[in-house]
């Protein structure tokens, strides 16, 4: 981060503290996190340390103020909770779902110096959401949160706490999209999301982003005994994404799948990290990271499967693949395994390739032109995103969105 950017952030922090009527102690705490952010490396794991994003290219030039926005800017009226900047809208929450915006924006303090953007979030945090899904069935509609920023000059630094109750079966949709009726949307969203799955909970967590916003997210899942998770992430054409997904299988018999799909184009940069950490016995972990890269863009896929000593009988699998559509596109796939016990199954696979000539020939022999054949191959690379969405209506919507994004120019 440039020195001028740091001064800008420091000048904005007193304004934030004043808006939220925070004490001098909180003001100093915010400033201390900015100072720690400046000193902290991007990756603490040496496997990934050579592939960090350069500090002078980070999207940190936005004014960290308390942005407001009308409900009319929400791109879709189909939401459970809608957020425009720090303004929150909802109509009659369904039974079994509780939502609150705590008064203490800086509580709880989650930044511990382990991640650079967590420190930035703690310093500039201007929003805090708390959800609890206590009673939900597979036949219930998805819980949907839609977030937009009102302008390019906006910065939303949000902390979210989400808890799914015992034996809850739920689809949770977290969408970031362009605001409706705004010609120059965008802004910078930096969010830390702490999610707890109670014993027996079965959650399909679907994260969708499309548009001009630049995004840095840290999803942290804590899974208790017998909990099941399918985390699905789709980023379509977004100019900057820095995503960290960490799943900790604490209880015995847990099952977690992380499925990410990225379409990176127009000189965009996507940096994806998925970590699955086994603590409980007989736990199952799967991470699939795929991406399609075009037009001078950059994609980094980083994965780490960790099996701790108590996690006997566990099964862990990591797969990564990037498809390069143009000669000036770049991708790197970096898998990692860390194993502390012998009674387990673990494997990983990673590849980066261009469209296969034989596959192209086969598709073109069936009547497709070259562009259509390449689009079909690209869609196939992202199919795991669609197949791991349980809700049929949502699955069809995401399928249409992916195809429309791949065919756009």
Tens digit of pLDDT per residue, the chain (409 long)? 444 455 556 677 888 888 888 999 999 999 888 888 888 877 777 777 665 555 456 666 566 666 678 888 887 778 999 998 888 998 888 889 999 888 888 877 776 667 888 888 988 898 999 999 998 777 788 999 999 887 777 788 999 999 999 999 999 999 998 888 777 667 889 999 999 999 999 999 999 998 888 999 999 999 999 999 999 999 998 999 999 999 999 999 999 999 999 999 989 999 999 999 999 999 999 999 999 999 999 999 999 999 999 999 999 999 999 999 999 999 999 999 999 988 889 999 999 999 888 888 888 888 888 888 888 899 999 999 999 999 999 999 999 999 999 998 6
Q: In terms of Cα–Cα distance, which of 332, 326, 321, 261 is closest to 294? A: 326
> 85 Cβ partners below 8 Å, 6+ apart?
66, 67, 68, 69, 127, 149, 150, 154, 156
Nearest to 50 by CA among 322, 406, 334, 242: 334
CA gap 130, 193 in Å, rounded: 10
DSSP string, 169-192: EEEEEEEEEPPTT-SS---EEEEE
C-alpha span between 101 and 336 (Å, rounded): 38
Q: What does the DSSP 8-state code read for residue 50? A: G
Rounded-to-integer distance, Cα 282 and Cα 344, Å: 9
Residues 245 and 270: beta-carbon distance below 8 Å: no
Closest CA to 312 of 340, 336, 285, 286: 340
pLDDT of residue 111: 65
Q: Give the residue extent of every domain in the chain.
A: 3-407
CA distances from 166 to 97, 227, 249 (A): 13, 9, 16
The pairing of strands 344-353 and 143-148 is unpaired
Pairing type for strands 188-197 and 155-164 reads parallel
Q: Interior CA angle at 102 toward 116 and 87, to 5°?
A: 85
Closest CA to 287 of 332, 224, 244: 244
């Amino acid at each position: 981060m440039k020195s001028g950017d740091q001064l800008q952030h420091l000048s904005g922090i007193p304004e934030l503290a004043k808006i939220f009527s925070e004490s001098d102690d909180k003001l100093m705490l915010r400033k201390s996190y900015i100072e720690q952010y400046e000193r902290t490396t991007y990756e603490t794991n040496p496997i990934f340390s050579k592939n960090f994003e350069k500090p002078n290219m980070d999207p940190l030039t936005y004014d960290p103020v308390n942005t407001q926005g009308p409900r009319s800017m929400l791109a879709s009226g189909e939401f459970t909770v809608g957020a425009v900047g720090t303004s929150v809208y909802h109509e009659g929450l369904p039974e079994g779902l509780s939502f609150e915006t705590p008064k203490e924006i800086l509580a709880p303090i989650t930044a511990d110096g382990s991640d650079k953007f967590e420190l930035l979030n703690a310093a500039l945090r201007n929003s805090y959401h708390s959800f609890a899904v206590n009673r939900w069935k597979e036949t219930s509609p998805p819980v949907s949160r839609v977030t937009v920023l009102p302008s390019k000059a906006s910065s939303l630094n949000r902390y979210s706490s989400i808890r799914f109750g015992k034996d809850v079966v739920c689809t949770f949709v977290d969408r970031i999209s362009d605001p409706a009726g705004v010609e120059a949307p965008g802004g910078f969203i930096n969010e830390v999301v702490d999610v707890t799955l109670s014993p027996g909970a079965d959650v399909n967590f679907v994260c969708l982003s499309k548009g001009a916003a630049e995004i840095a997210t840290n999803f942290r899942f804590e899974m208790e005994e017998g909990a099941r998770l399918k985390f699905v992430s789709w980023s379509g054409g977004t100019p900057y994404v820095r995503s960290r997904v960490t799943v900790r299988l604490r209880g015995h018999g847990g099952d977690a799948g992380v499925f990410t799909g990225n379409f990176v184009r127009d000189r965009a940069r996507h940096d994806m990290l998925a970590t699955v950490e086994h603590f409980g016995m007989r736990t199952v972990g799967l991470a699939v990271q795929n991406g399609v890269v075009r037009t001078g863009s950059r994609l980094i896929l980083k994965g780490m499967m960790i099996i701790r000593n108590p996690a006997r009988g566990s099964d862990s699998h990591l797969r990564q693949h990037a498809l390069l559509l143009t000669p000036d596109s770049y991708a790197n796939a970096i898998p990692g395994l860390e194993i502390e016990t012998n009674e387990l199954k673990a494997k990983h696979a990673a590849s980066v390739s261009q469209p296969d000539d034989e596959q192209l020939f086969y598709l073109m022999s069936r009547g497709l032109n070259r562009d259509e054949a390449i689009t079909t191959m690209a869609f196939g690379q992202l199919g795991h995103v669609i197949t791991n969405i349980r809700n049929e209506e949502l699955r069809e919507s995401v399928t249409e969105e992916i195809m429309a994004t791949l065919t756009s120019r």
